[in-house]
Amino acid sequence: MRNYFKRTLSSLLVITMLLAPTGVTAAEIPNPAVQTDTEPISTTSGMRPAYGQPSINGNYYETHPAYMFGDNMDNFRPSAPITRAEAAALLARTELLNFESGITRLPPGMSSFNTFADVNPGDWFFHYIAWAHNAGLIHGHDGSFRPNAPITREEFAAILARTTTLRTADIPFGDADSISNWALAYVHTAFLADWVRGDHGGNFRPQDNITRAEVATSMNRMLGRINCFTTLNAVDVQNPDDARQFYDMNDSVWYFPAVLCATNDHYLTRNTHGIITWLQFAK
């Protein structure tokens, strides 16, 4: 496992930062035994960035919980799309619920939730969607949410952008004209925040379905975990063998560092310049 870390990560730094088609990924179902996706992102209450108490040498100690998971066959399914329900769960769990999973309660002051005809109390995503909708992070159309439909890159960018103040600027995507009018300000905002990027051809592909690997990459940017890509290969992590591994992924893929960050509880320090040093994985 130690070689799993150090063998290729220095080259992966360049590949990940330059070639990764960034987008964003979403959530996973509260029960990891269920073979479906479900992910979260950061919490406005402290995970972005999550500075702890400064150490004697000026570093800040942080604990980063995992926010993505594999299926019950120990696969990550990096190229699989995520659904609108999973995206809502991801946002609610990280932005509103401090990474809490399997919630069975509505937001404070809400006694019922019947906004969408296709979201019912027995659905695993019911409470997550209630939280995300109540916070203004998600919207439906004509009384429906389409929870099981794949979410597109521009739709996920919109959810991310609703967590912050909207900004506008020219964006350097070759296919910028294909971004839906309703999504323009959201994509601009997510791009300016460096939460989403284009692919190696300079396109955003707004109507493409977002993949789990792309989500892991974008979520780490939003969570302030991106610097782990630049230092992971230079660190002798105390317990590399405890890192979660997946049968359908290896350390030669561009998204390996992002998935490592997203799927493992880990401890690290961040110095005053923002450079991250990993310490160990939580068992």
Say if residues 141 and 168 touch (Cβ distance below 8 Å): no
* Percent of all residues in the chain with a pLDDT value above 90, rounded to a whole number: 45
If you average pLDDT over residues 244-257, what whole number do you get?
Answer: 88
Domain borders along the chain are 2-281
**What is the Cα–Cα distance from 187 to 160, expressed in whole angstroms?**
9
Residue 5 has a pLDDT of 52
The pLDDT tens digits for 264-282 are 998 888 887 777 888 888 8
How does DSSP classify residue 186?
H
CA 79 to each of CA 11, 141, 231: distance values in angstroms, whole numbers, following the listed order: 22, 27, 26
Asked whether residue 35 carries a pLDDT value surpassing 70, the answer given is no
**What is the Cα–Cα distance from 182 to 139, expressed in whole angstroms?**
12
pTM for the whole thing?
Answer: 0.79
Q: What is the dihedral angle through the alpha carbons of 44, 45, 48, 49, rounded to the nearest 10 degrees?
A: 160
